[in-house]
A and B are shown apart, each in its own frame.
Chain A
């Protein structure tokens, strides 16, 4: 038996202390998560009712009212954003994984990573200048473009990552059978990595679904129904923001309910797409 010297005792103590501190860090990190969700459910569920989901906002002083127009507006904006962001993102991911070996690929990769960190408010200003000023009015369309731009880098890096996980023998087998390269990329490589690509898309979607800053000067918000993509459109995060910083208790309650609905909708959308995607496909590598 080695003699337990002071030094040994000290080292063991340091080891224990480090472990304890790490556990403490985990607890402190997870604490706000629990707190946010608890408050959301506690405060949100009380104000959540049928009217909230079916009515438009009431003027100040009148109680009741809902965010139906904002929910639908968010849906429209996100649909436009996905129509722009998903194909461009997946396309550039395919380019990076299948063709982007050289220095140019590295430049694109770097651009995507850096673009990922650009503040969303800056994207809002750029789209304001490009779309809103040109069209001379705010619109769901402009909001969709802003969010779509934000989706591209995330989706492209995620797509690249999962495509690179597909074993090379699969590509070689396809090419060996005489299948052309584009066909093998689309129906074999991409198909194998399918679930990973969907995960990347959903992450990007969830991220932009809660974005408020780029919508301030693009979609702008609206107190009424606006179903045309060419008009100023309400969005759930915008509405929550306006209500949260207002001085009215009634609006604060609606803000909590809105936040609960926003998170619930994001989660429903993400799970729904994953369930649909997981059904009837091969279990790939991803």
Chain B
């Protein structure tokens, strides 16, 4: 450290007491009133979040009470969806939602975590920004545009190349059998994967950054290679947060509507093969809500929405708790 010339000791100047007395240091009442009003106004804005949740629950329960009364829990286990006969069971939609989301997770998780690890741990500094930006850009593409692309580009690709290949080599699993339509569960899963990669990778990145640098240094000092350092010091410390990110991605996949509606085939069937068309909770609402005739039909659709809402609330709450366990308490980049 360089030392400049030593400054001469300053003689403390005496404060001019006469002047100080004349300046009021604290402004009085009117401001306090305005402050209170401001805080109250901002609180009201914050409360709007709670109001929205309250209204949502009220509205969903209120509008689905016909179906709630008639079917109750049986609604979610019945596999018959027959609007003409007035018999409603949501199992095929639940099955379609779960399976398409799981397919999406199987594809998206390795890619998203790999991308996050690459950008935080391996990538040369100048590339870091652009890669994050481009991944984030994937999230900015509207779902209807993904759907359009999936119908006209992805589905033919799956039909002509990927599905015949899967049927030939993995047909014995039973997951890839039947005629390759292109449109179906697999197409929905693949396009959902593309859509949830950005959220999983951006949160994983956040979690990885929150792992203290000392952990990495300790692992490297013990002679670990870079990959061993990542495995031992980074991924192990961040696993709760990564799990949170994955669950958050699952939440997105469960609720995604338009893209899935455009490529899943919209048939309320439970088929083992991923080539077969399916139907999801969100897409049945999108397709049939405006055309629903009869109160029970409408009420059954809102019943599905209620189920979807509760599941996504639980999934998201779980994800947030997991993410908070990692990123809270760790020095955030803001304060560092």
Nearest chain B CB to A187's CB is how many angstroms away?
Answer: 12
Decide if B286 touches A216 in the complex (CB within 8 Å): yes
A115-B149 contact in complex given A14-B227, A99-B39, A129-B59, C-beta closer than 8 Å = no
Nearest chain B CB to A159's CB is how many angstroms away?
Answer: 10
The main secondary structure of chain B at its interface with chain A is helix
Nearest chain A CB to B265's CB is how many angstroms away?
Answer: 12
| Residues of chain A within 8 A of B63, CB atoms compared | 125, 129
Cα(A240)–Cα(B55), bound, Å? 30
Nearest chain A CB to B50's CB is how many angstroms away?
Answer: 6
Decide if A164 touches B334 in the complex (CB within 8 Å): yes
| Residues of chain A within 8 A of B313, CB atoms compared | 114, 117-118
A212-B282 contact in complex given A26-B114, A88-B45, A117-B316, C-beta closer than 8 Å = no
**Which residues of B in the span 50-65 have a Cβ within 8 Å of any Cβ on A?**
50, 52-53, 55-56, 59-60, 62-63
Decide if B145 touches A259 in the complex (CB within 8 Å): yes
Cα(A88)–Cα(B305), bound, Å? 26
Cα(A223)–Cα(B228), bound, Å? 60
| Residues of chain B within 8 A of A210, CB atoms compared | 141-145
Cα(A177)–Cα(B17), bound, Å? 18
Decide if A149 touches B45 in the complex (CB within 8 Å): no
Decide if A22 touches B305 in the complex (CB within 8 Å): no
A152 within 8 A of B: yes
Per-residue B-contact encoding for A210-247, CB less than 8 Å = 1, 0 else? 11110011001000000000000000010011001100
Binds A, one of B72-80, B84-92, B253-261: B253-261
Residue in B49, B151, B308 whose Cβ sees the most chain A Cβ within 10 Å = B49
User: From A91, which residue of chain B is reached at the shortest CB distance?
Assistant: B45
**Which residues of B in the span 115-139 have a Cβ within 8 Å of any Cβ on A?**
115, 117-119, 122, 131, 134-135, 137-138
**Residue total for A at the interface (Cβ-Cβ under 8 A):** 90
| Residues of chain A within 8 A of B225, CB atoms compared | 11-12, 14-15
Decide if B42 touches A98 in the complex (CB within 8 Å): yes
Decide if B255 touches A122 in the complex (CB within 8 Å): yes
B271 within 8 A of A: no
A35 within 8 A of B: yes
| Residues of chain B within 8 A of A262, CB atoms compared | 142, 144-145
Decide if A181 touches B35 in the complex (CB within 8 Å): yes
Cα(A211)–Cα(B257), bound, Å? 10
Binds A, one of B23-31, B159-167, B173-181, B208-216: B23-31
Decide if B59 touches A25 in the complex (CB within 8 Å): no
A111-B227 contact in complex given A122-B255, A216-B289, C-beta closer than 8 Å = no
Per-residue A-contact encoding for B243-271, CB less than 8 Å = 1, 0 else? 00000100110111110001000000000
A122-B305 contact in complex given A165-B334, A244-B151, C-beta closer than 8 Å = yes
| Residues of chain B within 8 A of A95, CB atoms compared | 39, 42-43, 45-46
Decide if A125 touches B305 in the complex (CB within 8 Å): yes
B81 within 8 A of A: no
| Residues of chain A within 8 A of B49, CB atoms compared | 92, 108, 111-112, 115, 152-153, 156
Decide if A125 touches B194 in the complex (CB within 8 Å): no
**Which residues of B in the span 278-302 have a Cβ within 8 Å of any Cβ on A?**
282, 285-286, 289-290, 302
Decide if A100 touches B46 in the complex (CB within 8 Å): yes
| Residues of chain A within 8 A of B145, CB atoms compared | 36, 40, 210, 240, 259, 262-263
Cα(A15)–Cα(B227), bound, Å? 5
Query: Mind listing 19 A-B residue pairs with CB under 8 Å?
Result: A11-B225, A14-B227, A15-B227, A24-B114, A25-B118, A26-B118, A35-B149, A90-B45, A111-B53, A117-B312, A122-B60, A122-B309, A128-B289, A182-B35, A210-B145, A211-B142, A237-B142, A245-B151, A259-B145
Contacts A182-B37, A262-B142 given; 19 further ones with Cβ under 8 A? A18-B227, A19-B226, A22-B122, A28-B111, A33-B134, A91-B45, A114-B53, A114-B317, A118-B56, A118-B312, A119-B282, A121-B308, A129-B62, A152-B49, A180-B35, A210-B141, A210-B142, A211-B143, A266-B142
